[in-house]
Amino acid sequence: MTPGVRPLIAGNWKMHGTLASVRELAAGVAAGQASGADLLVCPAFVHLSAVAETLGSGSVALGAQDCHANPKGAHTGDISAAMLADLGVRFVILGHSERRADHAESDAVVLAKAEAALTSGLTPIVCVGESEAQRVSGEAEDVVAAQLAGSLPEGFAAAGGVVAYEPVWAIGTGRTPTEADIAAMHARVRAELEQRFGAAGSTLRILYGGSVKPGNAKAILALPHVDGALVGGASLVAGDFLGIAAAA
């Protein structure tokens, strides 16, 4: 972890859950709040209000999984950052590899969404990461550096934005990079943030994501510049999610 930086453990619930199950999950997370880390849960759009009601005024923050770049307009099926803020959302995940792949989101699209999030007072969590082919070819660090350059807006550091490094090939596969590879990538991300934002870049939180589980969380979270985790499948079980938080 980065000295002096409080870790963030964020749960990305993706397209999972029913109204009843997300209420139960949110209640389970809220009941076991961890003192050593900030907790964040990001349910699907249709469940945001129910989860907000369940979490109440406790310390678990509410996040969303995406937003549109425009504040309003004729964009059927989309949700603006202003709408999210109106629901009590504080964070929004942007540029996740599943959005980049499934919806052809470019760095420019992610940048525009991050700017919209900042305008509405939301903290963007901008995701970056390489494919397995890019890792094998030795391009991983340069790919991630290019994504950072193209996806982060100028006001990102001042607003306390968050970067999430997720190697695409590790998401949901049960595979993780070596600890040395994770440490090397987070060091490169830190260097890019400091080069871009100066001293402010030295304390921005950098999360690791990609098959994080209670069993490997302690080792991953102990690495330099790993300031928390963006958790997928394990965040759908309150005990597992809290177990990861406890490792921080």
Annotated binding residues = 12-14, 172, 211, 232-233
b/e per residue 163-177 (b: at least 16 CB within 10 A): bbbbbbbbbeeeebb
19 DSSP β-pair partners: none
Helical (H) or strand (E) element with 231: strand 228-231
Annotated active-site residue 166? The verdict is: yes
Which entry of 105, 130, 141, 166 is annotated as an active-site residue? 166
Which residues line the annotated binding site for substrate? Answer: 12-14, 172, 211, 232-233
Annotated active-site residue 96? The verdict is: yes
Asked if residue 40 lies in contact with residue 11, where contact means CB atoms within 8 angstroms, the answer is: yes
Helical (H) or strand (E) element with 24: helix 19-31
Which entry of 96, 105, 186, 225 is annotated as an active-site residue? 96
Give the span between the Cα atoms of 70 and 132, in whole angstroms: 33
Query: Of 161, 151, 148, 167, nearest to 208 (Cα)?
Result: 167
Query: Given its phi and psi angles, is residue 28 left (phi above 0), alpha (psi -120 to 50 degrees) or beta?
Result: alpha
Give the span between the Cα atoms of 10 and 139, in whole angstroms: 27
Count of CB atoms situated within 10 Å of the CB of 216: 16
Count of CB atoms situated within 10 Å of the CB of 31: 11
Beta strands in 82-216 (DSSP E): 91-94, 123-128, 162-165, 206-209
Q: Would you please indicate which residues are annotated as catalytic (active-site) residues?
A: 96, 166
